[in-house]
Structure 1
């Protein structure tokens, strides 16, 4: 079992403030690889914010699979509101999950991508939520990590079944976005519902605000939006892939597929062990480092530039040497090592 420094275990976070020249070097690396927006927030203050024209602070950009982490945070809010428990069986809320091997699958397994649902449906738009509820499992729940959009749209159906008179989108807006003063646009599924596996679109500033909210464990402007004691759930490693938590990526060695980052930074002593991220196709990234009070946003133009890597970018932010085989081209540190893919819903 891998040990992991959970957010609650950080007793006295020491803020880390990257050097201006290092952040500029990271932005240059990014813009040479289709990147266009970068924000660094240290100890609650924005210390770096740059855009490559025509993008500006007002540009609303696709998050692709960076969208997925909204679901994990919604789950924490719903548990706080007494609507669900993460370890409830999905079938408690959806009759399509009452029989066969689906009967044992839990909400936690949906959001950790080990419910047994396969990897079908990788388009940004996606099928209707209702249509995926009858999809068969391709593995026993809890035994295999499978990256895709269907589990998140299924989770959306769970929440709407509980709410009855309020949509998932309205709940997300009311409980999370509105208190933070942020908003999102959506690519929608065939039924008009938001594609929760990869359809979110947001400005870099709003995504950074959302990241700061996570870093602060749901506390915002003197109010507890989501109780602080629930946030460890977000970064608990999945049983079948310790590099994935509750809809977010962890910087731990992986045993399953769908790994978006090279293993190189794992071996570096300077990498904070509690760093985690939301990640999407085109190298959309929201890095969160609780122990250093650091939030980093990176947005880029689709399609993915394979010369870019998390290793190359993060080492520059931290002023460290790039350990990748070819730091100029990025070859050798491509996304998707371990057999998985990042995408709008994959």
Structure 2
């Protein structure tokens, strides 16, 4: 064999060996990306009845991460399983669909474990098309506000849906091609605020208390963490929320079958109540805490005790492989149903004259956490909107837009936003797929809506 043939043969062996190694022992980052892909495609296919190739192209690959561009998926519709990987075989991504609890990434491959956690939900009556919002879905169009939300520069790149609620009425809405008022959209971290409301239901029922502190059986300081510390993101637990690599948050979401236990086992870094650290793991812990207080049917609790009373017929929150609701990330709802929840907060937890959350609980939720330097409230709400590229560390990102001082926000990854302004009786929802690095600021949209309403 001549030298050229020997080199070619060696290269073939090297490439084949590398491919085999990558298939059986992929780097953790590839495993994270593959499970992320499988999870997103699974939910959109089995819960939202979307085309898997479209979801892969529009939802997974569109934001621009280079290695997601070479992801391939295989959908087993008979068994509700999605597999994903780089080139289709590197990364071992796996997700499975369950009735009622949606899709879960299955990082350890234990599909049977994930399938234990499901239920058959009773349908929530959809809002009537001929009835005014919020009982129905009929809009009372404000043409001046409608002109504002038709401006692409204000609604931002890759907007998917916008709704404006003024004095309890839907006055304007807009949707991108391929989406409409019946399309459930992922709220990402806006789920945290809904999860805080689920905690509030159990506080109101006397099953939890804000000063409660027996969630850890330890003697290392974690036993001093109170429910109020968890809600305020000040438990002092180590948690890295950086999404750029294999961090605590990406490991928890895509490499850990039991997300709550992963966070529960993290060490204490700061005395409870003294240091603010935004953490999706903290929200998942809150899910397990309130679920432990529900005597039966904890998986259906959000639907029966919150979504049904508010008429949020499209809403669902998914559970992880271990059956704990992923209260930091995975709630889907239509734009109008997200708006119903925003209006519910605006009305201090009252709906149709019924005090659903304890009196004063919503006020607590948007009371400032001093350790957050004015940015965050005590119940998983933001006190200012997204920052610009050049926003100073101690500056309020809302100040340049002259927004009312009482505004507070629900915020999620890729610029999912609900702005709530009690003094204006105004709720603005904006959903999309807008990467954070674009530094889109919805404050400009909200400011122009307020001006239009004052004309």
TM-score range, shorter chain: 0.7 to 0.9
Quick one: distance in 1 between partners of 2:179 and 2:235? Answer: 38
Give the number of equivalent residue pairs. 294
The alpha-carbon deviation at position 221 of structure 1 amounts to 1.5
- For 2:261, the equivalent position in structure 1 comes to 130
Q: 1:299 to 1:30 in 2, by over 3 A?
A: farther
Correspondences of 1:34-183 after superposition (within 5 Å): 34-89=158-213, 91=214, 94=215, 96-120=216-240, 121-123=248-250, 125-126=253-254, 127=256, 128=258, 129-167=260-298, 169-182=299-312, 183=314
* Structure of higher CA gyration radius: 2
1:266 to 399, 402, 406: 399
The alpha-carbon deviation at position 235 of structure 1 amounts to 1.2
Q: Is the 8 A contact 2:239 2:266 kept in 1?
A: no
Q: Which one has more relative contact order, counting CA pairs under 8 Å at least 6 apart?
A: 1
Q: Is the 8 A contact 1:250 1:276 kept in 2?
A: yes
> Relative to total residues, which structure has the larger helix share, 1 or 2?
2
Q: Is the 8 A contact 2:375 2:396 kept in 1?
A: no
Q: 1:125 to 1:301 in 2, by over 3 A?
A: same
- For 1:216, the equivalent position in structure 2 comes to 347
1:195 aligns with 2:195: no
Q: Which moved more, 1:134-143 or 1:63-72?
A: 134-143
Quick one: distance in 2 between partners of 1:48 and 1:226? Answer: 28
Q: 1:165 to 1:131 in 2, by over 3 A?
A: farther
The alpha-carbon deviation at position 62 of structure 1 amounts to 0.9
**Backbone CA RMSD of aligned residues:** 2.9
Correspondences of 1:15-34 after superposition (within 5 Å): 20-21=143-144, 23-27=146-150, 28-30=152-154, 32-34=156-158
- For 2:40, the equivalent position in structure 1 comes to none
Matched residue SS, 1:38: strand
2:412 to 280, 290, 297: 280
TM-score by length of 1: 0.76
Quick one: distance in 2 between partners of 1:131 and 1:248? Answer: 24
Quick one: distance in 1 between partners of 2:440 and 2:393? Answer: 12
Q: Is the 8 A contact 1:186 1:195 kept in 2?
A: yes
The alpha-carbon deviation at position 267 of structure 1 amounts to 5.5
1:308 aligns with 2:431: no
The alpha-carbon deviation at position 219 of structure 1 amounts to 1.6
Correspondences of 1:238-257 after superposition (within 5 Å): 238-241=369-372, 242-245=374-377, 246-251=379-384
Q: 1:276 to 1:32 in 2, by over 3 A?
A: closer
Quick one: distance in 1 between partners of 2:270 and 2:195? Answer: 22
- For 2:336, the equivalent position in structure 1 comes to 205
- For 1:290, the equivalent position in structure 2 comes to 422
Matched residue SS, 1:273: coil
Quick one: distance in 2 between partners of 1:85 and 1:74? Answer: 13
The alpha-carbon deviation at position 261 of structure 1 amounts to 11
1:299 to 431, 441, 454: 431
